[in-house]
Amino acid sequence: MGLYESVEEIPPDFFNDLLATDIKINDPIVKAILSSRLLTHNSLENNILTKVAQTKPNNVRVLVYQAVFSINRISQIQYQTEIPQALLISCYNALLVLQRFCSSVVTKWHTWPSPSTMSSTVPTVLFDSSITILGHPQIQNATESTLQGHIRLEIFSTILMYLLSPNQEIYETYPNHHFYALNMSNPLPIINIVLNIKKYSSNFARICLILCSTGLGFCNSWSELLSDFHFSSIFPIFDSLLTAPTESQLSLSNSQNPGIYLELFALFYQILLLPYDIFESLPKGRQFVVSVLLPLQQFNEKNSLTYFHSLALSTLVLLTSDPALSASLNEPFTGTFACKSSVHRGTYADLLVEIITNTTGSDLSRTAPLLPAVACIIHNISAHVKSFSFFTSNRLFIFLNQLIESGDRQAPKLVQIVIDGINQIISEQFENNTTILMFVVKNQNTFKILKQKGLNVKYILDFIAAFKHKVKQNGIVKLGTDEAEKILKSMSPKQFMDGYEPPGPRGHVFTGEMAELWTDWMRTLAMRGDSKNSMKVE
């Protein structure tokens, strides 16, 4: 077939025999469909095949079996051996057939009896064989316009389609049986493609990133394999996150040019969940914090909550759980921050607190799912920020008072997390944090009320008592900022923090609602663009 020559469309009546005949394995009709000529997505979208799915379910089963056989056969070819053109055609056609009949088989084909040639369930064989094919140099190194390049694309598309199809039953500890099948496959060919993601088109890169994020989320074999990689070999693929995203890149609706920003962000989050020493391996750690804050603020300005808010805040919990990275937030933030609202200038820590409290807003009932992450971020940075500004201190106490007044069932636990953060400031960053320490003193009645409610505010009340004693001891009647600073300079945390043990950073685990909604988020990302371009091959 000539360069960029479009595949000739197959007339619908090509499939008439499927409607008129009961077929069997190795039936000539099936061989003709899979091997005689290249199919296209358009050629498979016809009423005849719709009727076949409705009236001839056994024919669909045979066709699907045969498609998996074809893919499995190619996967057994040694990597040093060239794949014949005829087998490439049957592989490509098989993938399109599997996509066409996905809705007909996706919820039940893992229960089909496995033929003697298959050692596992049909979807497990499909996933393992398809991913093995991805590792073949002829497929992995192909340019995207070739048949081999299209096979690579359709392998990713097929696996994602079956993984993310809705209304599937939970299977053991997996969202559905297809995640189990994915876990049983060796993900190395996919990971190798993702590590070289910059050389591919955005359409192909998007589905690669979505599949990798999905696999890392639920498949132990994937996370175990990637944990063996040094993080320094992975982080270069995230460089583009440091560039401010465009409006279309953040769009959650179908777009002709969605780019890969959100897909890359999702993978970044999953990578951070792995047991890496983040700061040592992640250059420009502060800039990555900003790269999370900017789209978070841009989503805030859309005035509607999305899963991205949870994803961004959870990512910030992971980043700030690294003590060295949190300590680096003391540096002045002088970069650009291209959002509609104006932001207050200060340190990276000041920017962080401003944006995360912008996210929770004034109505905590609306943003309740986000509150634990915000409280944990505050807790994580408290032991390391040397000087909170007046604006930031005010924001922190507004957030604390909102939590106290909130009727949310999780509020008492979150209030204690923020209190623990204040304890860390008093213990670890007492010397230069005059502003926020004065906020603590001014809010002494709040802490007394919290004590009555059973929260542990001992160290805070001991600090306030010691401060007031110093004021009285110095005969100060009217306490101004200068006098307060002198009093604080004369004090030492040892006076009121006896027996205190810093709790350490709070981490984040991919469980609960984050995990439950992950497949929905991946499905949303997968629908943002159309990877089904007309088939053109070299």
For 353-407, what is each residue's pLDDT tens digit? 999 999 998 888 889 999 999 999 999 999 999 999 999 999 999 999 999 999 8
Residue 37, helix vs strand vs coil: coil
Which of these, 148, 142, 44, lies nearest to 87 by C-alpha position? 148
71 occurs within a structural domain: yes
Alpha helices in 273-347 (DSSP H): 278-281, 285-300, 307-320, 323-328
- The residues facing 537 across adjacent strands are 5
Establish if 131 belongs to a structural domain. Answer: yes
**What pLDDT digit, counting tens, does each position of 460-498 carry?**
999 999 999 999 888 887 777 788 888 998 999 988 999
| pLDDT at residue 533, rounded to an integer | 43
Q: Return the pLDDT at 402.
A: 95
Give the amino acid at 90.
S
* Spatial CA neighbour of 306 closest among 296, 292, 294, 316: 296
- For residue 245, give the DSSP letter: P
Of 156, 55, 164, nearest in space to 102 by CA: 164
Per-residue model confidence (pLDDT) at position 213? 96
**What length is written for the chain?**
538
Q: How many CB atoms lie within 10 A of CB 321?
A: 21
* Residue 188 CB-density burial (10 A; 0-12 exposed, 13-18 middle, 19+ buried): middle
Least confident of 44-53, 310-319, 370-379, 522-531: 522-531
441 touches 464 (CB < 8 A): yes
- Tally of domains within the chain: 1
Q: Is residue 113 part of a domain?
A: yes
| Mean predicted confidence (pLDDT) in 51-71 | 95
Q: Which residues neighbour 482 within 8 Å (Cβ) at sequence distance 6 or greater?
A: none
Residue 21, domain extent = 11-185
- The Cα–Cα gap between 114 and 122 comes to 6
Residue 114 in any domain: the answer is yes
CB 347 within 8 A of CB 304: no
Residue 365, classified by CB atoms within 10 Å of its CB into exposed (0-12), middle (13-18) or buried (19+), is exposed
pLDDT at 257 over 60: yes
* Residue position matching structure tokens 């980043």: 319
DSSP track, 383-433: TT-S---HHHHHHHHHHHHHHHH---TTHHHHHHHHHHHHHHHHHHS-TT-
Alpha carbon separation from 74 to 90, 97, 157, 211, 323 (Å, rounded): 9, 16, 18, 22, 49
The pLDDT tens digits for 414-435 are 999 999 999 999 999 998 899 9
Can you tell me the distance from the alpha carbon of 141 to that of 136, in angstroms, rounded to the nearest whole number? 8
Cα(first)–Cα(last) distance of the chain, in Å?
Answer: 6
Nearest Cα residue to 149 out of 99, 230, 101, 208? 208
How many angstroms separate the CA atoms of 195 and 197, rounded? 6
Rg (CA), the chain: 29
Separation between Cα atoms, residue 285 and residue 330, nearest integer Å: 12
Helix (H) or strand (E) holding 460: helix 458-473
Helices (H), 76-144: 85-100, 102-105, 122-134, 137-140
Give domain status of residue 241, yes or no: no
Residue 205 reports pLDDT greater than 90: yes
Task: Give domain status of residue 176, yes or no.
Answer: yes
Mean of all residue pLDDT scores within the chain: 90
Closest alpha carbon to 53 in 118, 99, 121, 111: 99
Is residue 468 assigned to a domain? no
Mean pLDDT, rounded, for 276-303 = 85
Q: In sequence order, what are the residues at sequence separation of 6 or more whose Cβ sits closer than 8 angstroms to the Cβ of residue 152?
A: 134, 139, 140, 142, 144, 193, 204
**255 falls within a domain:** no
